[in-house]
Chain A
Amino acid sequence: MDLLHFARGPGLKIAIAVFCLGVTWRIVSFALLRIRREYSRPRESMFRYLLSGMITVGSRSWPHREFIGRTGAGEALGYSYHLGLFAVVLLFTPHILFLESLFGFSWPGLPSSLITIISVLTLTLFLAVLFRRVTNRVMRLLSNFDDYFSWFITMLVMVTGLAATAHVGGPYERLLALHILSVDVLLMWFPFGKLMHAFYIFPSRAINGALLARKGATS
């Protein structure tokens, strides 16, 4: 069995199983902890504050006017590489075919050359993100192994993917194998690090937003 065969065969199977196991494990572990009832009288009706929670999911995607001056650039950097990643992961035809083979449905993709441009841009942004994490004193203080490893593994996926499409650094099938293998590793690492934020971000915004709105507080 060659590397490619392993990467997208048994390797991928293990990765998917570990991914599902880990994600469930982590979520169930805290979701089943005690939730205390709130006895104070809400300022808003439940419908209103749950709605506010939903609105927070969207509104928190960009800083409030008061914060833009200090955080706008940083958040823009963060969101833009995320958008780049989504575009490349979801709109590159070989990726769509991969996902189709997993889930059984597909959607139209973008031209490969456009994807290449987007991925090079995303890669550049990703380097900028690391630069920022290392040079910004706050981020450096907060950062731990998780932050750097999650960055590294995502970067690895991008670099091997780009190398495979550009045929740089080795025969295509080996690069493709490394690319898929790095995706396997990413999937397995996913539940054990900060990548879990993909699952957390919207519920977290919604729940905290709703709890603040319950008090009529700013959210």
Chain B
Amino acid sequence: MSDVAVKSPATGPNVAGAMKGFAQEIGALSAFRLESCIHCGICADACHYYIATEDPQYTPIWKVEPFKQAYKRETSALAPLYRLFGFKREVTADQLAQWQHLLFDSCNMCGRCSLICPMGIDVAALIEQSRHAMFEAGLAPEELYEKAAHQKLTGQPESSLEPYRDQLLAIGARFGVEIPLDKSQAEVMLCVPRTDIEQYPSAVAALARVMSNLGISCTFRSDGLVAENYGYFAGAKEWQRDISLRLIDQAIACSAKTLLLPECGHAYTALRWEAADLYGKALPFRVLSVTEFLADELKAGRLNLAKAVQSKVTFHDPCQLVRKGGVNDAPRELLKAMSVELEEMENHGGFSFCCGGGGGVIDIKQAAPLRYRTMEVKMREIDDTGAPTLLTSCSDCRRTFDDAQVHFNWDKKPNSLLELVASNLLEAGTGP
């Protein structure tokens, strides 16, 4: 797919494109998921958008309704009958345009609905595929579309005054840590969320500090710095592949055995789980999130942590990392190693509520009012724990909480688990 082939959001929905995208995507698994729905509506009760608003249109499976309709009309066994008798109408441009709000503004692709469905349908997987089709229709939200296009072309979602490479070195100088950059060979290749570069430089420094403490050979690569993948958010499947390829190529170039992802949830989904499929073969290195990497090092005895100052914290589980990614125990093991008392929220681990910013929603301006309503659900759970400190391990979640802190004038500020680890490091071999 070339850039020219994709319609810009400005020119209105392209139904044929959407359907083509969907037809391409539909395989036996998704078809089975679409076939299985019994319209019980139970998925609504897992979704924080529905819980916050009680508005039935936010029922997760309703968000893929046009594509269910298209599947039944075009691909399913009964498609000829549906077409012959007109039981299922053709999806219209208006309908698709209306669904933009449901597929982007009001869905974080957090996957909580996939856990409640009594038919076992992975609703989140369907939504991701529907986003692909929406992108083909030219219906990706402008913010996501532009960032994705920019990142595909330049490697950065947005242009910056100084290149990220330079900013990275400046952060190293400011925090007094060495930033390993563009080594030709390294065990571990590092990357960084541009959110951290711009908003949370301390997190970048923490990553560098932890790596140097562990003494593992590692490097950032100028041509594959950014961990985020706006292609994933926008539903631009091929752009997502191209963006992932930058990191994959660089990891191969420096013969890395591990591609270490920073605290960034969707980067984990994009690279840990989806990159190889888009690449078309298995990746020649492993992909780990820094959280699970540190937990592994801890278990291996290579990482030694001191008792932390914080007494009580609560931990926000990033959906992509924990619920959808399986990194559930790692953050808790790290906290335990630092003797931090963890007050769990009512819904935690795999059942945690999304912060409301995932799936690119934090970047969609028109989604903000609705996002604040869902944030109230999350804030209530956090406040109910009574813990004064909120920790998380995803910079997008952190950004969302910070945004809420300003909006609600909330008394909690999110902190990074990685930073907490970095500030409680013992020198190798000293032991607690």
Contact = CB atoms under 8 A, between A and B. Distances in A.
A43 B329 CA distance: 13
B216 interface: no
A70 B76 CA distance: 33
Interface stretch (A24-32, A87-95, A97-105, A166-174): A24-32
B33 A208 contact: yes
Nearest to B88: A144
Nearest to B32: A30
Nearest to A56: B120
Nearest to B348: A66
A218 B77 contact: no
A26 B75 CA distance: 11
A8 interface: no
Given A201-B119, A211-B122, A217-B325, A142 B32 contact: no
A125 interface: no
B151 interface: no
Contacts of B116: 63-64, 67, 71
B324 to A, nearest CB: 5
A85 to B, nearest CB: 15
Interface residues of B, number: 66
Interface stretch (B41-49, B175-183, B232-240, B368-376): B41-49
A151 to B, nearest CB: 11
Q: Is the interface of A mostly helix, strand, loop or mixed?
A: helix
Interface stretch (B160-168, B277-285, B305-313): B277-285
Contact of B56 (A25, A138, A217): A138
A138 B59 contact: yes
Interface in B275-325: 275-277, 279-283, 286-287, 322-325
B120 A209 contact: yes
Interface of A: 25-26, 28-41, 43, 56-57, 60-61, 63-64, 66-67, 70-71, 74-75, 78, 136-147, 192, 194, 196-197, 200-201, 203-209, 211-212, 215-219
The 6 closest A-B pairs by CB, nearest first: A216-B326, A218-B350, A205-B120, A29-B77, A39-B276, A30-B31
